[in-house]
Amino acid sequence: MHKVLVIGGFDPSGGAGLQIDLLTLTELGVFPFTVATAVTIQNSKNVSDVYALPSKIILEQIQTILQDGRVDAIKIGMLGTEKNVLTIADFLNKTNIKRVIDPVFQASKDFPLLSPDAIPAFKEHLLPLATVLTPNLMEAQKLVGFAVRSKSRMKTAAQALHKLGPKWVLVKGGHLAHDKLTDILYNGKDFFEFPHERVRARDVRGTGCIFSSALTGFLASGHSVPEATQLAQEYTLKKIKTALKIGKGRPQAWL
Ligand code: PLP
């Protein structure tokens, strides 16, 4: 049994964060350990509040899980505060377990999931430690400081982000304004392109979480980064197509 340690926010409505990470990894047959960094108050319509946990409690959860055995990969999602960013960076500096870092800055409906004053610390201390960094266009834009709205700008952004230290950068093109979407993967030498269709009228919750969990799961089970990217993209598209309207708002993924 391959095992993944997910570090992220708790969404009681099950559309995003740890709940959807748990569903994704379970469905892929990888065991998910889930360390909570925050409790979010949300439903299928919006996020209304966020209570980040103290970093001491996050670290105690991580240490206790890791005392119990090895994990094959780590996924970092929502962190909430600068203190939590620095604590997780310090923890990652002490281990060589491969890790996917998803820059979770804000919910689709604009509610901040990382305090805006923590973004410089994220960029300086956490981002360089990624095996794979998985920004969407808005997150890439926030990190590089220029607009990222085309395939060529995605490549430039991937190069700029790679210079900061991560082994691989995956810029996700799901928010491009046309129908031919592409994700761009870069390792400092080669670009890999993963074109995919747009699934129209499907504003599914938590798709970033689903993608980065699936990617981490496929890495944990021994796939290369390009293989894991392809498989995670296929899995995410399937989840978007089969998502259900559980509440009154956006559809969410289910089995
Ligand atoms: N809640 C948590 C805990 C998350 O980690 C995320 C995204 O990563 C969201 C909410 C936002 O989900 P969405 O982008 O679907 O609004």
Which tens digit of pLDDT belongs to each residue from 123-136? 999 999 999 999 99
Contact 185, 169 (CB under 8 A): yes
CA distance 231 to 244: 22
Contact 217, 24 (CB under 8 A): yes
Q: What is the pLDDT of residue 159?
A: 98
**Burial class of residue 134 (count of CB atoms within 10 Å of its CB; 0-12, 13-18, 19+):** buried
Q: What is the pLDDT of residue 201?
A: 64
Assess whether pLDDT exceeds 90 at residue 50.
yes
CA distance 184 to 166: 15
Task: Give SS3 for 244.
Answer: strand
Q: What is the pLDDT of residue 174?
A: 86
Instruction: Summarize the confidence of residues 69-74 as an average pLDDT.
Output: 97
Which tens digit of pLDDT belongs to each residue from 230-243? 999 999 999 999 99
Any ligand 1 atom below 6 A from CB of 80:
no
Instruction: Summarize the confidence of residues 166-177 as an average pLDDT.
Output: 92
Instruction: Summarize the confidence of residues 78-89 as an average pLDDT.
Output: 98
Ligand 1 geometric centre to CA of 104 (Å): 7
Any ligand 1 atom below 6 A from CB of 114:
no
Any ligand 1 atom below 6 A from CB of 20:
no
Strand order in the sheet with 47-52: 47-52, 31-42, 3-10, 73-76, 99-101, 132-133, 168-171, 181-186, 191-196
- Which residue has the CA at smallest separation from atom 12 of ligand 1? 206
Instruction: Summarize the confidence of residues 33-41 as an average pLDDT.
Output: 98
| Joined tokens for residue 8 | 């992220």
Lowest mean pLDDT, pick from 48-57, 192-201, 212-221, 241-250: 192-201
Task: Give SS3 for 87.
Answer: helix
Assess whether pLDDT exceeds 80 at residue 249.
yes
Which tens digit of pLDDT belongs to each residue from 4-16? 999 999 999 999 9
pTM for the whole thing?
0.97
| Joined tokens for residue 35 | 């360390």
Ligand 1 geometric centre to CA of 160 (Å): 25
Neighbours of 83 (CB within 10 A): 17
Which tens digit of pLDDT belongs to each residue from 14-32? 999 999 999 999 999 999 9
Any ligand 1 atom below 6 A from CB of 47:
yes
Instruction: Summarize the confidence of residues 100-108 as an average pLDDT.
Output: 95
Ligand 1 geometric centre to CA of 17 (Å): 6
CA distance 161 to 1: 33
Q: What is the pLDDT of residue 199?
A: 80
